[in-house]
Amino acid sequence: MKFIHRVGYYLGGFSIGLIILFFFLSGKKTSCAYGPNARTTKNISLKQKTYSEDALSTMRSFEMDTVAVSDMIKHGNVNFSESDTKSETCKTYIIENSYKKQEFKLQVKNCDSLVTIESIVPYRK
């Protein structure tokens, strides 16, 4: 079999495979979270959240709502060097993001079925 025929068969099978793949994955909420930051923020974003009194008072003083905090978590950067990822029951993560041009660090306790936002602290880089 000539090389050009082999390339033709390969490209034909590859294109059929892509069409089948797009058919099965279309309309579903599929995502690719491969990096540790993306996996952590996605895991935290999907769980039910509770807020400590300290976090609620900071939210009131900076006029934040729960949607803003959820957005800060979803699009934030996890600082793994300051986070406690070795804990058995609940891991504590420090998530850095900005809100209205002010930088914040969120201390988030991630348990099996519940996430607690323990503190929201403004800081300067």
pLDDT tens, 31-82?
677 889 999 999 999 999 999 999 999 999 999 999 999 999 999 999 999 9
With bands split at pLDDT 50, 70 and 90, how would you rate the model's confidence at 28? low
Q: How far apart are CA 14 and CA 6, in angstroms?
A: 12
Helical residues (DSSP H) of 1-125, grouped into ranges = 3-25, 36-46, 53-61, 66-74
With bands split at pLDDT 50, 70 and 90, how would you rate the model's confidence at 1? confident
DSSP-derived pairing of the beta strands 77-78 and 114-123: unpaired
Q: How far apart are CA 109 and CA 83, in angstroms?
A: 10
